[in-house]
């Protein structure tokens, strides 16, 4: 097929190819490792790549009237915003809960997209095989860019984007309660993606609103190219970061919004997870005697078994070893030690690190190697925790104390 290479078509082609490659790699890894999040991200990237095809091929000359390429673009649905919104939302849910699987109710979210696909098939069959002329299609405009469909898919994407951001914010609250590897579990790249995607989602809506004003009605179609280019860049960003997401800690993420209730509303805790004595402690905000006993029990367990050396230690794991529930343990740590669970564990890791430095362990291995032995899982997390506790960087502390 003839393809006119220019700055507009070529740039979109480059991103299209790269995004499709990542989609196939994610599908392959997702099916091999039984990772639903990888599979969903692969489908999201696939539809996102198709999303730029009309503009990529349009600038390549495929919309020229009378060409076979024009017929292909008109009768093939490339723009699937009705799929992209649900895929984004369920990707956020699946990457924050490794055990997430679709229910029958969840599949209803994809019905609008399927209906549009079926309608596109009906149009092809009717026009090409039955009446053999333009009938359901006017032959002058691409149905993917009909006004009603553009508004419908923009509203759909915006709706699911709001759901995704809301879900992610709930997840962030849960992370601060539950994990000792907050920097990894935070999925900051996903937050950045949601913010960027929110911005580019507003661009088509802004264009539609501006089109009602005479001045903007005569704008050259090249102006819209930039929004598609930015869209391709953002999708490429999420493709790279989604593929490089840390796999092992993600398998420990089992978040559902209902889990926040155990930290926020003690009255909702059941007898199955809370003993009567524990419940009374929670309700009375834990009296000093009980608090001291719990603090000693927790400290003894952390020190005797070196639990902080587990880079993937969770509050639930620690609660299980103490034969209690995460809600009570979280409140004890916050009230008794005055810090959250993540900072609590990192204090043990930093103290262990300082002890090793005083013993000259840095002569036998690197600082990062010692940090990993003490339970840290990244250089950035270690440096941040070290400075937070000591007020100095590792190098400054060594120069001052050794």
- From CA 188, how far away is CA 191, in angstroms rounded? 5
Dig out the tokens for 44 from the structure: 């999201």
More confident residue, 272 or 90: 90
- From CA 92, how far away is CA 11, in angstroms rounded? 29
Query: What stretch of H or E contains 159?
Result: helix 147-178
Sign of CA dihedral 224, 229, 230, 232: positive
- In contact, 230 and 74? CB cutoff 8 Å: no
pLDDT at residue number 216: 53
Q: Is the pLDDT of residue 119 over 90?
A: yes
Q: Which of 60-69, 301-310, 333-342 has the lowest mean pLDDT?
A: 60-69
- In contact, 271 and 54? CB cutoff 8 Å: no
- From CA 23, how far away is CA 239, in angstroms rounded? 8
Q: What is the rounded average pLDDT of the residues 141-165?
A: 91
Q: What is the rounded average pLDDT of the residues 369-396?
A: 92
Domains of the chain and CATH, by start:
7-257 (1.20.1070), 258-401 (1.10.10.60)
DSSP state of 170: H
Q: What is the rounded average pLDDT of the residues 325-335?
A: 85
Q: What is the rounded average pLDDT of the residues 17-44?
A: 95
pLDDT tier at 357 (50, 70, 90 boundaries)? very high
Q: Which of 112-121, 194-203, 242-251, 335-344 has the lowest mean pLDDT?
A: 242-251
DSSP state of 334: I
DSSP state of 134: S
Q: What is the rounded average pLDDT of the residues 308-324?
A: 91
More confident residue, 156 or 69: 156
pLDDT in tens, 273-299: 444 444 444 444 556 778 888 999 999
More confident residue, 53 or 289: 53
Q: What is the rounded average pLDDT of the residues 314-339?
A: 88
Burial of 369-392, coded b for 16+ CB within 10 Å and e otherwise, reads ebbbebbbbbeebbbebbeebbee
pLDDT at residue number 49: 96
**Own/partner pairs, 316-321, CB within 8 angstroms, 24+ separation:** 316/178
Nearest Cα residue to 194 out of 239, 234, 245: 234
Q: What is the rounded average pLDDT of the residues 332-354?
A: 92
Q: What is the rounded average pLDDT of the residues 389-401?
A: 91
pLDDT at residue number 247: 62
pLDDT at residue number 161: 94
């Amino acid at each position: 097929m003839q393809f006119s290479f220019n700055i507009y078509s070529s740039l979109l082609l480059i991103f299209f190819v790269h995004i499709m490659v990542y989609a196939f790699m994610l599908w392959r890894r997702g099916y091999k490792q039984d990772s639903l999040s990888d599979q969903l991200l692969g489908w999201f990237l696939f539809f996102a790549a198709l999303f730029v095809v009309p503009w990529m091929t349009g600038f390549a000359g495929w919309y020229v009237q009378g060409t076979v390429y024009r017929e292909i673009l008109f009768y093939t649905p490339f723009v699937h915003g009705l799929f992209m919104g649900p895929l984004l939302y369920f990707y956020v849910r699946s990457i924050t809960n490794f055990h997430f699987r679709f229910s029958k109710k969840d599949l209803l979210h994809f019905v609008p997209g399927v209906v549009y696909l079926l309608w596109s098939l009906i149009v092809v069959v009717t026009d090409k095989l039955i009446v053999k002329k333009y009938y359901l299609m006017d032959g002058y405009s691409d149905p993917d860019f009909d006004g009603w469909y553009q508004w419908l898919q923009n509203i759909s994407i915006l709706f699911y984007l709001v759901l995704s951001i809301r879900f992610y914010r709930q997840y962030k609250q849960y992370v601060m309660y539950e994990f000792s590897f907050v920097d990894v579990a935070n999925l900051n790249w996903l937050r950045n993606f949601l913010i960027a995607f929110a911005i580019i989602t507003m661009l088509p809506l802004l264009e539609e609103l501006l089109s009602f004003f005479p001045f903007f009605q005569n704008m050259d179609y090249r102006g819209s190219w930039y929004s598609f280019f930015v869209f391709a860049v953002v999708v490429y960003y999420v493709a790279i970061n989604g593929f490089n997401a840390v796999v092992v800690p993600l398998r420990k993420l089992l978040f559902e919004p209902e889990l926040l209730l155990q930290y926020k509303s003690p009255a909702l805790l059941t007898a199955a997870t809370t003993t009567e004595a524990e419940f009374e402690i929670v309700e009375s905000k834990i009296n000093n005697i009980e608090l001291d006993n719990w603090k000693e029990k927790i400290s003894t367990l952390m020190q005797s078994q070196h639990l902080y050396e587990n880079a993937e230690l969770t509050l639930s794991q620690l609660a299980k070893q103490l034969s209690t529930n995460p809600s009570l343990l979280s409140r004890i740590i916050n009230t008794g030690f005055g810090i959250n669970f993540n900072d609590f564990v990192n204090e043990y890791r930093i103290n262990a690190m300082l002890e090793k430095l005083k013993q000259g362990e840095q002569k036998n291995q690197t600082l990062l190697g010692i940090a990993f032995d003490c339970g840290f899982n990244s250089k950035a997390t270690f440096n941040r925790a070290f400075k937070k506790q000591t007020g100095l960087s590792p190098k400054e502390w060594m120069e001052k104390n050794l």
